[in-house]
């Protein structure tokens, strides 16, 4: 067993290792990408101009340098918080606030989370109004950007605080088995959100309107009937309100299922290409990728709660970070949440490998559904060009950061 006195040193090592690893991957990818300037990949020499390719490289390099900065800030803030004793100090302040029971710890956890997010606010602003605007993607206003964050904070408080309080109360109700009931509670909450999000949450941020009658709507509805994916409605989301990036997805379950297309996607693709993109999304549904991911998420969250329960039963763990012997479960929840990311970073290639396999399967389904690979390839090329996607990422970088195969890899699979 690791001595309690060594725990903060191990935590520091984990945070630093993630930061160094991320920075190394960014520099490796920048060097690899810069070397391809002026050399459009052979497969796209007839469809991607040198000017567009050069601009995509500039965009990749700009995002990479920003990732270095944001990663350094995030690591520094976390290390300062872990070593400064600010977490137990804030908890002691809450103890004397007059708020008692589980609500005290729930408010403390929520407050710490909000406090840790403060340093990222100027970085998010810069990314939106400087980096994205520089390359022509930003369409949001300062007012919308601020309102989004206010809404997000209120939503987190309304939904998150009662959930935290309930999980902490389960410690009193269920004793040593609390973590199993906490996991079941979280799982039920996530399923509930899947139903509520399309109806109540998403409309708080975006406007959804039915796709007008016409050839596109008829084409997509025929595709749904052909593939057994009978959606209740096809809706258009005003994605252009915030960005020129494009996307499509479906949401909801059963008779509440609906297809959602970004208005930017409709403006960028032909009807055949939109049909192929939708067929790809239906492929995820037909291949049962979403239930598989939900099942895996439930398994990992169960393991996470077991670890929290194990750590909470060892006062030396929280004590090593300045918490008292009777600190309870709340500090273990906080510390686990903060330190799990540096650990999971090194396992991200496994998750990305599984995700890319699903993308290949969805692409193959779309190819069969529309009878040709050409419409999907055309859509992927246009989206890659419009989004200034990096056509030549370093293999190690894509292994750690890409949940989707590169355009070159997807086209090779579609052709085969």
State the catalytic residues. Answer: 281, 363
Q: What is the CA radius of gyration of the chain?
A: 24
**Closest to 332 measured CA to CA, from 118, 114, 189, 182:** 182
How many whole angstroms separate alpha carbon 232 and alpha carbon 150?
31
Question: Quick count: other Cβ atoms within 10 Å of Cβ 168?
Answer: 22
- Give, in order, the Cα–Cα distances in Å from 110 to each of 240, 282, 319, 353, 385: 32, 37, 21, 33, 41
Phi (first) and psi of residue 236, to 5 degrees: -110, 130
What are the beta bridge partners of residue 233? Answer: 258
| CB contact set of 88 (below 8 Å; sequence gap of 6+) | 321, 322, 323, 324, 327, 331
C-alpha dihedral, 191 to 196 to 197 to 203, nearest 10°: 180
| Tokens 């779309």, residue located | 366
C-alpha–C-alpha distance, residues 11 and 120, integer Å:
21
Best CA proximity match to 410, nearest among 348, 342, 359, 369: 359
DSSP per position, 362-395:
HHHHHHHHHT-SHHHHHHHHHHHHHTT--SS--H
DSSP H helices, 236-346, are: 263-268, 271-286, 289-312, 315-319, 329-344
- Residue 133 CA to its chain's centroid (Å): 22
Q: How far is CA 416 from the centre of its chain?
A: 31
Give dist(CA 384, CA 390) in Å, integer: 8
As beta bridge partners, residue 210 has 235
């Amino acid at each position: 067993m690791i001595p309690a006195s060594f725990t903060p040193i191990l935590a520091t090592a984990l945070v630093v290792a993630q930061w160094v690893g991320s920075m190394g991957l960014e520099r490796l990818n920048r060097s690899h990408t810069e070397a391809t300037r002026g050399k459009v990949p052979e497969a796209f020499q007839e469809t991607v101009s040198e000017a567009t390719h050069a601009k995509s490289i500039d965009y990749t390099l700009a995002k990479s340098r920003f990732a270095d900065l944001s990663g350094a800030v995030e690591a520094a803030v976390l290390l300062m918080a872990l070593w400064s004793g600010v977490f137990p100090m804030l908890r002691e302040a809450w103890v004397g606030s007059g708020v008692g029971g589980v609500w005290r710890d729930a408010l403390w956890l929520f407050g710490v989370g909000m406090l840790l997010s403060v340093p990222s606010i100027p970085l998010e602003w810069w990314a939106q109004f400087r980096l994205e605007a520089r390359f022509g993607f930003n369409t949001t206003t300062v007012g919308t950007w601020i309102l989004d964050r206010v809404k997000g904070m209120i939503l987190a408080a309304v939904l998150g605080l009662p959930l935290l309080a309930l999980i902490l109360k389960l410690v009193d109700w269920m004793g040593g088995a609390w973590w199993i009931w906490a996991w079941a509670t979280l799982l039920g909450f996530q399923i509930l959100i899947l139903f509520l999000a399309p109806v109540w949450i998403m409309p708080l941020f975006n406007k959804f309107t039915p796709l007008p009658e016409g050839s596109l709507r008829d084409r997509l509805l025929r595709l749904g009937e052909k593939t057994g994916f009978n959606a209740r409605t096809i809706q258009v989301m005003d994605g252009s309100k915030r960005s020129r990036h494009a996307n499509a997805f479906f949401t909801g379950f059963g008779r509440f299922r609906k297809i959602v297309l970004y208005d930017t996607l409709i403006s960028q693709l032909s009807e055949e290409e939109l049909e192929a993109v939708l067929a790809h999304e239906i492929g995820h549904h037909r291949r049962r990728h979403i239930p598989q991911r939900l099942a895996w998420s439930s398994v990992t969250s169960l393991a996470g709660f077991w670890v929290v329960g194990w750590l909470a039963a060892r006062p030396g763990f929280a004590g090593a970070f300045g918490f008292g012997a009777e600190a309870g479960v709340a500090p273990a929840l906080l510390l686990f949440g903060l330190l799990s990311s540096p650990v999971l970073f090194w396992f991200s290639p496994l998750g990305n490998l599984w995700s890319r396999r699903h993308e290949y399967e969805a692409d193959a389904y779309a190819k069969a559904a529309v009878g040709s690979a050409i419409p999907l390839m055309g859509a992927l090329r246009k989206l890659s060009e419009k989004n200034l996607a990096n056509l030549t990422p370093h293999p190690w970088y894509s292994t750690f950061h890409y949940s989707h195969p590169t355009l070159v890899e997807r086209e090779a699979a579609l052709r085969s």
